[in-house]
């Protein structure tokens, strides 16, 4: 298994290392967090965890066996956290 960090995941200024830190040290993991917006891709998982500087991040990934694709990484939004409580 390897992690693939897409350019879309970097658009909010966080790095692959930040995203991996959030995944490995997650506070909350929500499998199949929402329906995939891209046809033929699995529903993404959400991880909430810290960046290397301590910001709480929301990181979304989907699994394309055997790899994990990181496509979204940004500072945690309140609306995202609220959705994890449902």
Tokens of 40: 């033929």
Judge if pTM exceeds 0.85: yes
Cβ contact 58:79 at 8 Å: no
| pLDDT values of the chain reduced to their tens digit, one per residue, 86 residues | 899 999 999 999 999 999 999 999 999 999 999 998 888 889 999 999 999 999 999 999 999 889 999 999 999 999 999 999 88
Q: How far apart are CA 18 and CA 23, in angstroms?
A: 9
Q: Which domain holds residue 40?
A: 3-85
Q: How many domains does the chain have?
A: 1
């Amino acid at each position: 298994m390897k992690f693939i960090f897409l350019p879309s995941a970097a658009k909010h200024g966080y790095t692959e290392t930040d995203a991996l830190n959030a995944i490995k040290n997650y506070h909350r993991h929500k499998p199949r967090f929402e329906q995939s917006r891209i046809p033929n891709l699995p529903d993404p998982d959400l991880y909430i965890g810290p960046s290397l500087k301590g910001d709480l991040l929301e990181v979304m990934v989907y699994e394309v066996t055997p790899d994990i694709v990181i496509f979204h990484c940004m500072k945690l939004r309140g609306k995202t956290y609220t959705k994890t409580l449902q």
